[in-house]
Chain A
Amino acid sequence: MSTGRQGIPLERDISSRLLPWLLAIMVYLVALALYSALAMHKIAGQWDVTHSAHLTIQLAPPILALSDETTDETEFSAEQEENLERILSLLRDKPEVAKARRLKREELEALLEPWLGDDGDAGDLPLPELIAITLKEGAAPDIKALEEEVREISSDALVTDHKSGLEGLVDLALWVRFVAAGVIALVAMAAVLMAILITKMGLAAHAHIIELLHLMGAEDRYVALQFQRHALSGGLIGGLIGLAVALATFAVIDQLTRGVDHHLVPNISLSAPQWAAFLLLPLACALVTTVTVRVTVLRSLSKMP
Chain B
Amino acid sequence: MIHFDNVSLRYPTGPQILSDIDFYIEPGSFHFILGESGSGKSSLLRMMYLGLMATRGRISLFGRDVGRLSRSQRAELRCNIGVIFQDFRLLNHMTTMENVLLTQEVTGRASKKSQRDVAELLTWVGLGDHLYSYPETLSGGQQQRIAIARAVVGRPSLLIADEPTGNLDNKLAVRLLYLFEELNRLGTTVVIATHNESLTRRFPHATLALHEGHVVFQEPMSERLSDEPFSRVSGKPAP
Contact = CB atoms under 8 A, between A and B. Distances in A.
B176 to A, nearest CB: 21
Given A5-B94, A220-B71, A215 B78 contact: yes
Contacts of B80: 217
Interface in A259-305: 302, 305
Contacts of A215: 49-51, 78, 83
Contact of B53 (A4, A211, A305): A305
A255 interface: no
Given A302-B71, A305-B52, 8 more contacts: A2-B101, A2-B105, A3-B101, A7-B91, A211-B51, A216-B106, A219-B71, A219-B72
B83 A1 contact: no
Contacts of B76: 217
Nearest to B116: A1
B110 interface: yes
B171 interface: no
B102 to A, nearest CB: 6
Interface string B89-123: 10101100010011111110011111100000000
B52 A1 contact: no
Interface of B: 49-53, 71-72, 74-81, 83, 89, 91, 93-94, 98, 101-107, 110-115
Contact of A9 (B74, B93, B112): B93
A204 B110 CA distance: 28
A7 B106 contact: yes
A300 to B, nearest CB: 13
Contacts, number: 73
Interface of A: 1-5, 7, 9, 12, 208-209, 211-220, 222, 302, 305
Contacts of B93: 5, 9, 12
A7 B91 CA distance: 8
Contacts of A218: 75, 106
A305 B91 CA distance: 22
Ranked nearest first, the 6 interchain pairs of A and B with the lowest CB-CB distance are A217-B79, A217-B78, A1-B114, A3-B98, A218-B106, A9-B93
A1 B103 contact: no
Contact of A1 (B79, B104, B106): B104
Nearest to A219: B75
Contacts of B114: 1
B106 A217 contact: yes
B103 A216 contact: yes
6 contacts: A1-B101, A9-B91, A213-B106, A215-B50, A216-B79, A217-B76
Contacts of B51: 211, 215, 305
A4 B120 CA distance: 20
Contacts of B115: 1
A217 B78 CA distance: 5
Contact of A217 (B52, B75, B89, B98): B75
Contacts of B71: 219-220, 302
Nearest to B98: A3
A14 to B, nearest CB: 15
Contact of B112 (A1, A4, A7, A214): A1
Nearest to B47: A305
Contacts of B113: 1
Contacts of A5: 93-94, 98
A216 B91 contact: no
A5 B93 CA distance: 9
Q: Most A CB atoms within 10 A — which of B77, B94, B102?
A: B102
Given A216-B107, A219-B72, A305-B74, A3 B49 contact: no
Contacts of A212: 89, 91
B50 A305 contact: yes
Nearest to B87: A208
A218 B106 CA distance: 5
A226 to B, nearest CB: 11
Nearest to A11: B93
A3 B83 contact: no
Given A215-B51, A217-B79, A220-B71, A208 B89 contact: yes
Contact of B111 (A1, A209, A213): A1
Contacts of A211: 51
Contacts of A216: 78-79, 83, 102-103, 106-107
